[in-house]
Structure 1
Amino acid sequence: MSSTENYEKARGRAEVKYAFFAHVGVYAAVMVLLVIVNLLTSPGTMWFVWPLMGWGLAVALHAARVYLLADRESIVDALTRRELRDSRHDGYDERR
């Protein structure tokens, strides 16, 4: 893999992580706003927990995609490169 390909892959991972942190920041800001609105308008009913849980699930799934599945993809890429390298050497023993 060339340095340009490595750079593009690293840049892509950085952009995905940046998008995730932007998602978390917007989520936090909106949730704070919803808590304030809820407490000022109807303090007897805590309705802000429903969007907090719903959107929180979306943020959790986004985190899983960014951090858990990215590792899986890099493992698959490494195995694919290994298989390609091994297939080039079929029938040839380098130790001979």
Structure 2
Amino acid sequence: MKEQDSNLKFLKAKNKVEKLKRFYTHLGVYFVINTIITVVKVMSNMNMGETFDQAFYDFSTLATWLVWGIAIALHAFSVFGLPLILGEDWEERKIEKYMNDELQKD
């Protein structure tokens, strides 16, 4: 039983690390891609005669940051916020419940 608890704790820790890793990868991609998009749009708009300020503060230039930023915020909430609301052992309780349900069916 002790080995099973140890394995369960290891799997939970590994799952948390994977979630963090996916979030930080998503965040990194967000910054790199949006920076590239912004530079391209600003340069394109400046070539069409706009000033830097006009090109940079154009809604279409900043819309990608905004929309994708909302997605990043939701991702961050799922990684950091849900455990605070549902409790750290929420996943463990759900897994246990479903395993017990399956065992009772047999």
- Shorter-chain TM-score: what band? 0.7 to 0.9
Question: Equivalent residue for 1:56?
Answer: 69
Question: Identity of aligned pairs, percent?
Answer: 24
> Is 2:44 the partner of 1:30?
no
Question: Equivalent residue for 2:44?
Answer: 41
Q: Distance in 1 between matches of 2:38 and 2:14?
A: 36
Question: Equivalent residue for 1:85?
Answer: none
Q: Distance in 2 between matches of 1:76 and 1:63?
A: 18
Question: Equivalent residue for 1:74?
Answer: 88
Check conservation: 2:20, 2:79, Cα contact below 8 A.
Answer: yes
> Is 2:65 the partner of 1:65?
no
Between Structure 1 and Structure 2, the one with more helix by share is 2
Alignment: residue pair count: 79
Amino acid at match of 1:32: T
Q: Distance in 2 between matches of 1:68 and 1:6?
A: 21
- Residue 70 of structure 1 deviates from its aligned partner by 2.5
Q: Distance in 1 between matches of 2:91 and 2:30?
A: 32
Question: Equivalent residue for 2:104?
Answer: none
Runs of 4 or more above 4 Å deviation: none
Q: 1:70 aligns to what SS in structure 2?
A: helix
Amino acid at match of 2:88: S
Q: 2:88 aligns to what SS in structure 1?
A: helix
Q: Taking structure 1 as the reference length, what is the TM-score of the superposition? A: 0.73
Question: Equivalent residue for 1:83?
Answer: none
- Residue 73 of structure 1 deviates from its aligned partner by 4.2
